[in-house]
Structure 1
Amino acid sequence: MAPDMDPEDIGVNASAEPDFASIIDSVLSRRAVLGGMAATALVRHVTFSAEARAAGMAGPSLTFAEAPHTIAENHQVAAGYDAQIVIRWGDKVTADAPAFDPLRQSAAAQARQFGYNNDHIGYCPLPLGSDHSEHGLLVINHEYTDSWLMFPGLTDKDAVAKVTREQAEIELAAHGLSVIEVRKLAGNWRVVENSVYARRITVETPMAVSGPAAGHDRLKTTADPSGLALRGTLNNCAGGLTPWGTVLTAEENFHQYFSGVPHGAEAAAHKRVGIVGKPEYSWGKHFDRFNVATEPNEPNRFGWLVEVDPHDPRSVPVKRTALGRFKHEAANVVVNGNGRVSVYTGDDERFEYLYRFVTHGKIDHGNRAANLRLLDDGVLYVAKFHDDGRLTWLPLIFGNALLNRDHGFNSQADVVIDARRAADLMGATPMDRPEDVETNPVTGKVYMMCTNNTKRQAEQTNAANPRANNAHGHVIEMIPPRVDGHVDHTALEYTWTVFLLAGPKDQGRYHPQTSPSGWMSAPDNMAFDPAGRLWIATDQGSSQAENGIPDGMYAMETEGPFRALSRFFYACPRGAEMCGPMFTPDGKTLFVAVQHPGEDKGSTFDAPSTRFPDFQAGMPPRPSVVAITKKDGGVIGSSA
């Protein structure tokens, strides 16, 4: 993506959802509304703080010395830690993959090599069902390609016009996912060569489709008149792991690949997802499937959550349509006390929504085959945030409220295909780019990253989005109720509060002891370590140079006297975004994805702003997966 472009900024939501009056200080100081569930949440928070003090906690549990909060050509990590490159764009994945040669690339080679712009990382311990922290599978998303950093002679301004069909085929092969086997040996992580699990999934890989939209007329194309034999996955951003050992990968900004001006029956639907005849890729002029004038239904085959089984390299990925179609960011799964499964996912664009899916069926820990069908039957919900601290989950069910034939919905298939429009009609709350959504494994609270929204006007502010021109973003904390001693992620009402306002310390809201290096901009992805501490990855985009700080990893506690005390742990190299944070079960390794290093204004393959991670003449910057470990082998987060 060109450094001055952001596909999340197109702002296609025309929802007239009324705004809430709000006073920012009252929102930020409120930890819960007094009364009902919120009062219970407040009691739990105060109790935790008192217990921490009684235990003699003299300081925060995160004691590492902060990393340099400065932009540099190489990555930087806190003192006492190692940051090791595990795999880079072009490295071998399958046994028959050739060595990477940036001047002699081919689609056939790229389809066997590690893809571009690594994003979400899923760590799946081996063997299946174990919590092994030194041997497992990494399932890694490849979100998009920067052709002017991949091929000579291009710039971000002319790439769409100049990319050849051969180069476009390489781009297709560089999208999707990589599955690799890794081991930690003598403190270092290594890719297991010739692994039986090693696999590439690309835009050409056959996909199955399940749920309400499977076989629907709106998914049928010339190449697939059944609507059941989909091909490929793309713009795979964040994702999540299931308790039965699969990975959910999120298809996000699929709109940018499609050329042609929308027309006919799908024109309004295409416009609602941002397909307006201004593609960011050349694919539409090379391949009919990416031109809506030729194949108007092809875009409906993207924008889903895709389930991948990394333990079976012969398995066919499945697009789970019951979870809705939009620009998914993340798909994080939690099992409720009653056995039903909930999945949280954001729609990463300005003024879009937070969603949740709840299965009808219950997990069966002794029947993996049955669990592989769980996500086909359930209820998709969208969130409405009230300014009194309540959150209501609105069901997106055909026939409910306005989701009927009078408003263009003829079945549940139409509801999930046009999930955005269904959410508009139900009165969901438009958010400031809702990205990663995850559950704290210790407290059960749910956190959502709202990255930014500079298009929000003063009259559009509300309690959940309290800042106009929100250049730096914020984090929302949601508190489900407890039922029979368990946090209930199926409840129709939660409480919520603003956990953190990002930005410089004089503009944001952090713990008062936060250092000058602890402020962040554009919270994006996150991970929780085994102790329930929150680690936030940032994505400033073109604002990185303006803010004068790198993207990277920040860590903080979520409870007690040091709640929201942000500390800077790892800095990406110049132009890069921080993605994919994932801990091993023992908390001793943090995997991160360095995405699009060198994606600065004016940076090209021929003259990049960094040559991370190789720093060799003629070698372009290469997106990479990094394993961070403590030099003494200890748990991530403590001092050297």
Structure 2
Amino acid sequence: MPEKPSSSRPFADILAARLSRRQALKGLGAGSASLLMAGYGLTPQAGAGTQKGAGEFSLTFKELPHGLDEHLAVAEGYQSQILVRWGDALFADAAAFDPQKPSEAAQLRQFGYNNDFIGFVSLPLGSDSSDHGLLTVNHEYTRPAMMYPGAPDSDKLSEELTRANIVAHGLSVVEVKKQKNGQWKLVLDSPYNRRITPWTPMQITGPAAGSKRLQTPDSPDGVQTRGTYGNCAGGVTPWGTILTGEENVDYFFGGDYSNSGETDNYQEFGMQSRHRGSWSKHFARWDMSQTPAEPLHMGWIVEIDPYDPTSVPKKRTVLGRYKHEGANVHINPDGRVVAYSGDDQQFQFLYKFVSLNRYQPDNRAANLRLLDEGQLFCARFSDDGTLNWLPLKVGHGPLTSANGFNHQGDVMLDCRKAAKLLGATPMDRPEDVEVNPVNGQVYVMLTNNSRRKPDNTDAANPRGPNRAGQIVELIAPKGDHASETFNWEMLIVAGPKDEPGTKYHPQISANGWLACPDNCAFDKLGNLWIATDGAEQYDVADGIWACELSGAYRALTKRFLRTPLGAELCGPFFTPDSENLFCAVQHPGQGSTFDKPSTRWPDFDDSLPPRPSVVVITKQGGGRIGS
């Protein structure tokens, strides 16, 4: 791959050039959202923010001050309910939570650890209910020293404790229902409730399915496989399935892989021969010296049908193998499905998938196959505000057998290598990438990049080192997300508001600045809600900020929620009416131990550790979140 051009231009010069171009792009972020949507061939949704009067602010909540303490805090006039915690029962016959006696059998019937992504789908299927539905929640990773009293480092766990630890990963599916008193409740006898773990049978689909490179003792055909773990963010499809992204899966493996035939691939993915956890010490499946192809079964987007607890989850290889933060789906005007995903690592890439076939609103069975065929692209950003999507297609440019790409399955298995060869732009940890359902534009959360040097910046990644991240807005021409050329704008450059290089609305308050954008969500008005992971480096809690995306208050961020010490805020997800906001509080007390935690949130019981939990935020007296 040609060396990426470096730039030593000051950020102020880059930004000035970008703003000049932005003024030349008619209507972009300068007028009302209704004008913007008209310019891109989109139709405002009912109740959309485009219908508010000129100069009217839709985010009227009283801003929450910055702070950092043991508790979760929300804006005045709002309330939070702990809905489900690590170890809570998902089934009526589940054992009571007892961290003194962890077991595989108990954990299989309980909510898993370190909840990340949350997806809410309404019950019954096809409805838009905001008070009854299914939550699907990712369980990304564990911290044994925080979970179990006196537990050693994770690479020294006994086999018995390792078994319990393994099944704390994966996902939980649980039915939830809002009661007449406004409180939410788990439905423990629900036939939908399910734990999906690293042992759950799954199927590989798409271009890599059946590849000889995927053959293992558990998968002699390279199609059948088991389990998902390292699950970070995700998405909910219009046909009611959940997409979950497998991210930092290298931490689960160990063993010498020098004879695997995959040395370059595994080094690219961060695999190490040393045992960083106990899984590879007790089970041959995670020991690369014994099962060298097993790591290739990880690093995919997995599609799960929460409405069918007997369904087999599908690993959709057409979306590529890398460290997926998640995947989010948009229905293009021509009916094709477009899915966006980021590779969450420093200097990795942004991707887009366009399906071969079209979405059929009345044919769910056909829609369940839409992520089997199509074209994956990687993104190249230009300083002039254009973005080119480069097809990751065998035979295209350098993607030939001379470089190890003998068929399309190889391109998907070596996605990072292919994107580098094509000249995609290395980004500052692209995490959540979502399409705004009101204005039709794409918002990319770029968390940070401590390794970027000052002489290796570009307009989309303007700082080196980058401690606080940025948010980039992508504009599809006339709303056509299948187009191979977009425009892009810098929405926010994060960090303390007075720090050189930041970019915010000029009226931002002392509490409105944020750091390290990670996940995001949109309310029914199209406002952007930003969750962060890394603000504690500035001695303020992580949490949620919200802003409008058009008009006079575009990019005016306001703090809405603070997490407890050590926690990040993940997976914000609104019910259809935007009156309930589900949030995942992950790893409270991070960096401490079971016996001496920095917080015992949410129980504040000396016999219990801090517990990752899902909370639901509602407005006191009811109403839209944010008003």
Q: Aligning the two structures, in what range does the TM-score lie when normalised by the shorter sequence?
A: over 0.9
Which of 138, 141, 144 lines up with 1:144 in the alignment?
A: 141
Structure 2 equivalent of residue 582 of structure 1:
573
CA gap 1:516/1:47 in 2 versus in 1, 3 angstroms: closer
How far, CA to CA, are the matches of 1:127 and 1:30 in structure 2? Answer: 51
Partner of 1:511: 505
TM-score between the two structures when normalised by the length of structure 1: 0.92
Q: Residue 75 of structure 1 is aligned with which of 48, 72, 78?
A: 72
Q: 1:548–1:141: structure 2 CA closer, same or farther, 3 Å change rule?
A: same
- How far apart in 2 are the matches of 1:54 and 1:410? 53
Q: What does 1:269-284 correspond to in 2, within 5 Å?
A: 269-284=265-280
| Equivalent in 85, 110, 124 of residue 88 of structure 1 | 85
Contact preservation (8 Å) 1:22, 1:463:
no
- Residues 121 and 161 of structure 1: CA distance in aligned 2, closer, same or farther (over 3 Å): closer
- Partner amino acid, structure 2, of 1:221: T
| Counterpart Cα distance in 2 of 1:161 and 1:561 | 53
Following the alignment from structure 2 to structure 1, what is the Cα–Cα distance between the partners of residues 434 and 78? 26
Does the CA-based 8 Å contact 1:28-1:497 persist in structure 2?
Answer: no
Match of 1:334 among 330, 333, 336: 330
Distance 2:436 2:275 in 1: 38
Q: Which moved more, 1:15-24 or 1:587-596?
A: 15-24
Partner residue, 1:176: 170
What displacement does 1:57 show? 4.3
2:465 alignment partner AA: N
CA drift of 1:20 comes to: 5.0
- Deviations 1:406-465 (CA, angstroms, capped at 9, x unpaired): 001111111000100000100000000000000111111100010000100012111110
Alpha-carbon distance, 1:47 to partner: 3.0
1:162 maps to: 156
Partner of 2:622: 633
Within 5 Å, which residues of 2 pair with 1:454-465?
454-465=450-461
Structure 2 CA distance for aligned equivalents of residues 50 and 270 of structure 1 = 48
CA deviation after TM superposition for structure 1 residue 291, in Å? 1.1
Q: Percent identity?
A: 51
594, 598, 601: which one aligns with 2:589: 598
CA distance in 1 between counterparts of 2:25 and 2:334 reads: 21
Partner residue of 1:199 out of 189, 194, 217? 194
> Residue 24 of structure 1: CA displacement?
2.2
- Give 1:177 shift: 0.5
Measured in 2, the distance between the counterparts of 1:54 and 1:488 equals 24
Q: Which residue of 2 aligns with 1:62?
A: 59
| Runs of 4+ with deviation above 4 angstroms | 20-23, 29-34, 38-41, 49-59
Structure 1 residue 221 corresponds to structure 2 residue 203: no
The 8 Å contact of residues 41 and 479 in structure 1, kept in 2 or not, is answered as: no
- CA deviation string 1:116-154 (max 9, x = no partner): 000000000111111110100001011010111111114
Residue 390 (structure 2) pairs with residue 403 (structure 1): no
- 1:22 offset after TM fit, Å? 4.6
Show the 5 A alignment for 1:15-414: 16-20=3-7, 22-29=9-16, 34=21, 41-48=25-32, 57-58=54-55, 60-154=57-151, 159-185=153-179, 186-264=181-259, 265-414=261-410
How far off is 1:261 after superposition? 3.0
Structure-1 separation of matches of 2:382 and 2:51 = 36
Given that 1:383 and 1:394 are in contact with CA atoms closer than 8 Å, whether structure 2 keeps it comes out as: yes
Q: Report the Cα offset of residue 280 of structure 1.
A: 3.3
Instruction: Quote the RMSD (CA, aligned, Å).
Output: 1.9
Structure 1: tracts of 5 or more residues without a match: 1-13
User: Which residue of structure 1 aligns with residue 46 of structure 2?
Assistant: none
Please say if residues 517 and 533 of structure 2, whose CA atoms lie closer than 8 Å, have aligned partners that are also in contact: yes
Residues 201 and 53 (structure 1), Cα distance of their counterparts in 2 relative to 1, 3 Å cut: closer
Is the contact between residue 17 and residue 428 of structure 1 (CA under 8 Å) also seen in structure 2? no
CA distance in 1, matches of 2:615, 2:105: 26
SS at match of 1:322: helix
Offset of residue 97 of structure 1 = 1.6
Match of 2:545 among 543, 554, 557: 554
User: In the alignment, residue 591 of structure 1 is paired with which amino acid?
Assistant: F
Pairing partner for 2:515 from 507, 510, 521: 521
Aligned equivalents of 2:14, 2:438: Cα separation in 1: 25
Q: Secondary structure of 1:45's partner?
A: coil
* 1:564 maps to which of 545, 551, 555: 555
Task: Report the secondary structure of 2:455's partner residue.
Answer: helix
Residues 43 and 181 from structure 1, CA distance in 2 versus in 1: closer, same or farther, beyond 3 angstroms?
A: same
- Do the aligned residues in 2 keep the contact of 1:95 with 1:195 (CA within 8 Å)? no
CA deviations 1:501-548 (Å, max 9, x no partner) are 1100112221111111111111000000110000000001xx61x311
Instruction: Give distance in 2, aligned partners of 1:312 and 1:418.
Output: 32
Amino acid at match of 1:503: G
Does the 8 Å CA contact 1:524/1:538 hold for their aligned counterparts? yes
Deviations 1:528-569 (A, max 9, x none): 0110000000001xx61x311001000011111111111110
> How far 1:54 moved relative to its partner?
12
Could you tell me how far 1:19 is from its partner in structure 2? Answer: 3.1
Give the whole-Å Cα distance in 2 for the aligned partners of 1:501 and 1:130.
38
Counterpart residue number, 1:618 = 607
Kindly provide the amino acid, as one letter, of the partner of residue 371 in structure 1. N
Post-superposition shift, 1:168? Answer: 1.3
For 1:45 and 1:631, the matched residues in 2 are separated by 32
Counterpart selection for 1:501 from 485, 493, 514: 493
Structure 1 residue 614: Cα displacement: 0.7
Deviation at residue 163 of structure 1 after TM alignment? 1.5
Q: Is this contact kept in 2: 1:21–1:463, CA < 8 A?
A: no
Q: Is the 8 A contact 2:242 2:306 kept in 1?
A: yes
State the alpha-carbon separation in 2 of the partners of residues 320 and 161 from structure 1: 31
Runs of at least 5 residues in structure 2 that lack an aligned partner in the other structure: 36-48
Contact map agreement 1:76 1:570 (CA 8 A) in 2: yes
Secondary structure at the counterpart of residue 573 of structure 1? coil
Which residue of 484, 492, 496 corresponds with 1:492? 484
Tell me if structure 2 keeps the 8 A contact 1:20–1:462: yes
For the 8 Å contact 2:29–2:554, the answer to whether it is kept is: no
SS of the residue corresponding to residue 30 of structure 2 reads helix
The CA deviation at 1:367 is 1.1
CA contact (8 A) 2:505 2:555 kept: yes
Q: 1:67 to 1:321 in 2, by over 3 A?
A: same
| Cα distance in 2, alignment partners of residues 26 and 475 from structure 1 | 18
Pairs aligned (count):
610
1:50–1:407 Cα change, 3 Å: closer
The one-letter amino acid of 1:213's match is A
Verify: 1:448 aligned to 2:444, yes or no: yes
Q: Give CA-to-partner distance per residue, 1:144-202, whole Å, 9 cap, x none.
A: 10111111114xxx513421111211111010100011111121111112101000000
CA–CA distance in structure 1, aligned partners of residues 59 and 17 of structure 2: 25
Tell me the distance in 2 between the aligned counterparts of 1:564 and 1:44: 13
Task: Give the TM-score normalised by the residue count of structure 2.
Answer: 0.94
**After the TM superposition, which residues 413-452 of structure 1 pair with which residues of structure 2 at under 5 Å, given as runs?**
413-452=409-448
Per-residue deviation, 1:111:
1.1
Contact residue 33 and residue 389 of structure 1 kept, 8 A: no
